[in-house]
């Protein structure tokens, strides 16, 4: 491949990943308003529908990731990427025009299926990058994830506030179509014919990734910690827009500003402070510290009485971003070097399953404890006789705090199974046979 087309192809992959993350973030500030518009219901019922939409999106991602990866090994990277991008763009156009909630539900199923292209994008980067530049290029692709989450909610909030809740969907559909046209001209095929392999359904099975944990039982407690923490974490993207609408009466642009600030602070911590704090105090201490911060932050979010408090809590809670890289570091030190790829696949599977469970549970809790009814006061609590036992829209954050506390307890159990080397570093010895 010539040098110039290689740069253009890399730029296309970067934009594709960025656009997928923008598409994920752009709908968060406006989805409550769109659901209320098509259903005629209040924000409590909208949150319930929002949970269903997130679940089907996550479930399709979980199912389709290995399938799309297998198809790219059979037919090549170019057709899979371009077909997925075209379908993804058309899907956002469907959501922009959707007259009823059923159409949006079908559209989210399709969006989840055709957004599951990250593994193919990574394979393409590996194809076009020399070995000495692959790590740096993968880092840039990772930056596209963070950047997309920062600017996605900002775009969604601005367009939703100025032009209505459907405008962000038209925007993503148009950007996707333009990127598709760009890819037609700059994206060559990189999979050589001799490297293509037959597609087999038995390999296209996401659950197979979990065999990594069975092979190394010492990892099971740490995997459980990661799983519980991720379920708790999904409180933010799944409930935040509904919570801010219900409790603080924030507009789309106010919700977008808070989400963008979350992305900015997370980028600062994960892109900068992780390189300083984790090497200095170690992976174990970093994980425990970060998870403790996260548990406290959930509690603070649940009881914050004014909107201005939110930004201070977000700044504090960003330190919780140290937990995931610390946990991944612990896990990666537990297994041999030749099993690292399988480990990353297993971690990705854990993330996907948590995305199926977390948003559904959190949105249903929010819907139940913010449901309207004929309220009356008892011992300072607002009781809802035809809804939840009491009115408290912060319930999902309290549940997330409880999950995080359980995760911290599991982490202590995990540390009891990990042998500490004599030099008192965080290098983990291989499990005994």
Report pLDDT for 151.
Answer: 85
Average pLDDT estimate for 244-261: 88
* pLDDT class of 138 with cuts at 50, 70, 90: low
Report pLDDT for 46.
Answer: 86
358-379 residue pLDDT tens? 888 898 888 888 865 544 444 4
Task: Please give the Cα distance from 256 to 258 (Å, whole number).
Answer: 5
Report pLDDT for 94.
Answer: 92
Looking at domain 1-187, its CATH class is: mainly alpha
Report pLDDT for 98.
Answer: 92
Report pLDDT for 372.
Answer: 57
Lowest model confidence (mean pLDDT) among 34-43, 139-148, 379-388: 379-388
* pLDDT class of 19 with cuts at 50, 70, 90: confident
Average pLDDT estimate for 128-148: 65
Judge whether residue 401 has pLDDT over 70.
Answer: yes
Q: What is the 3-state secondary structure (H, E, C) of the chain?
A: CCHHHHHHHHHHHHHHHHHHHHHHHHCCCCHHHHHHHHHCCCHHHHHHHHHHHHHHHHHHHHHHHHHHHHHHHHHCHHHHHHHHHHHHHHHHHHHHHCCCHHHHHHHHHHHHHHCCCHHHHHHHHHHHCCHHHHHHHHHHHHHHHHHHHHHHHHHHHHHHHHHCCCHHHHHHHHHHHHHHHHHHHHCCCCCCHHHCCCCCCCCCCHHHHHHHHHHCHHHHHHHHHHHHHHHHHCHHHHHHHHHHHHHHCCCHHHHHHHHHHHHHHHHHHHHHHHHHHHHHHCHHHHHHHHHHHHHHHHHHHHHCCCCCHHHHHHHHHHHHHHHHHHHHHHHHHHCCHHHHHHHHHHHHHHHHHHHHHHHHHHHHHHHHHCCCCCCEEECCEEECCCCCCCCCCCHHHHHHHHHHHHHHHHHHHHHHHCCCCCCCCCCCCCCCC
Q: Considering only residues 31 and 214, tell me which one the structure prediction assigns the higher pLDDT.
A: 31
Looking at domain 213-421, its CATH class is: mainly alpha
Report pLDDT for 189.
Answer: 81
* pLDDT class of 18 with cuts at 50, 70, 90: confident
Q: Which two tokens stand for residue 130?
A: 């020399």
Report pLDDT for 185.
Answer: 85
Average pLDDT estimate for 404-427: 68
Judge whether residue 429 has pLDDT over 90.
Answer: no
Q: Which of 9-23, 35-49, 213-227, 287-301 has the highest mean pLDDT?
A: 287-301
Average pLDDT for the chain: 78
Report pLDDT for 119.
Answer: 64
* pLDDT class of 427 with cuts at 50, 70, 90: very low
Report pLDDT for 431.
Answer: 41
Report pLDDT for 196.
Answer: 73
Q: What percent of the chain has pLDDT over 90?
A: 18
Average pLDDT estimate for 408-426: 63
Considering only CA atoms, which of 58, 344, 66, 56 is closest in space to residue 205? 66
Considering only CA atoms, which of 75, 70, 69, 172 is closest in space to residue 121? 69
Entry pTM: 0.71
Average pLDDT estimate for 106-134: 73
Q: Which two tokens stand for residue 210?
A: 């979990």
Average pLDDT estimate for 211-231: 75
Q: CATH 1.20.1250.20 region(s) of the chain?
A: 1-187, 213-421
Report pLDDT for 193.
Answer: 77
Judge whether residue 136 has pLDDT over 60.
Answer: no
* pLDDT class of 48 with cuts at 50, 70, 90: confident
């Amino acid at each position: 491949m010539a040098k110039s087309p290689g740069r253009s192809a890399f730029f296309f992959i970067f934009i594709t990943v960025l656009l997928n993350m923008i598409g994920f973030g752009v709908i968060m500030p406006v989805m409550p308003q769109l659901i209320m518009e098509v259903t005629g219901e209040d924000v409590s019922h909208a949150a319930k529908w929002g949970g269903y939409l997130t679940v089907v999106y996550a479930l399709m991602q979980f199912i389709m990731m290995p399938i799309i990866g297998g198809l790219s090994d059979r037919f090549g990277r170019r057709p899979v990427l371009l077909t997925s991008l075209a379908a993804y763009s058309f899907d956002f156009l469907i959501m922009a025009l959707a007259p009823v909630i059923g159409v949006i539900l079908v559209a989210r199923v399709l969006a989840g299926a055709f957004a599951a292209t990250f593994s193919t994008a990574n394979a393409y980067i590996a194809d076009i990058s020399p070995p000495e530049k692959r790590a740096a290029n993968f880092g840039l692709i990772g930056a596209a994830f963070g950047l997309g989450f920062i600017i996605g909610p900002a775009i969604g909030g601005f367009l939703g506030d100025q032009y209505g809740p459907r405008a962000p969907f038209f925007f993503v559909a148009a950007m996707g179509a333009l990127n598709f046209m760009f890819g037609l001209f700059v994206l060559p095929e990189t999979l050589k014919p001799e490297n293509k392999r037959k597609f087999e359904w038995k390999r296209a099975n996401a659950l197979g990734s979990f065999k990594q944990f069975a092979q190394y039982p010492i990892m099971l407690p740490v995997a459980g910690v990661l799983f519980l923490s991720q379920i708790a974490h999904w409180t933010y993207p799944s409930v935040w827009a509904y919570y801010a609408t219900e409790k603080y009466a924030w507009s789309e642009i106010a919700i977008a500003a808070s989400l963008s600030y979350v992305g900015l602070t997370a980028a600062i911590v994960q892109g900068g402070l992780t390189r300083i704090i984790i090497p200095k105090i170690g992976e174990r201490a970093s994980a425990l510290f970060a998870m403790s911060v996260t548990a406290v932050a959930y509690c603070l979010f649940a009881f914050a009485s004014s909107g201005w408090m939110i930004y201070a809590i977000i700044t504090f809670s960003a330190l919780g971003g140290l937990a995931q890289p610390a946990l991944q570091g612990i896990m990666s030190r537990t297994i041999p070097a030749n099993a690292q790829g399988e480990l990353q696949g297993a971690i990705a599977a854990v993330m996907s399953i948590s995305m199926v469970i977390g948003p559904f549970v959190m949105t249903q809790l929010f819907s139940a404890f913010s449901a309207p009814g004929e309220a009356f006061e008892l011992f300072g609590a607002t009781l809802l006789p035809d809804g939840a036992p009491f009115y408290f829209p912060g319930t999902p954050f309290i549940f997330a705090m409880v999950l995080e506390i359980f995760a911290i307890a599991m982490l202590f159990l995990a540390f009891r199974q990990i042998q500490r080397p004599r030099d008192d570093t965080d290098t983990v010895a291989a499990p005994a046979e």
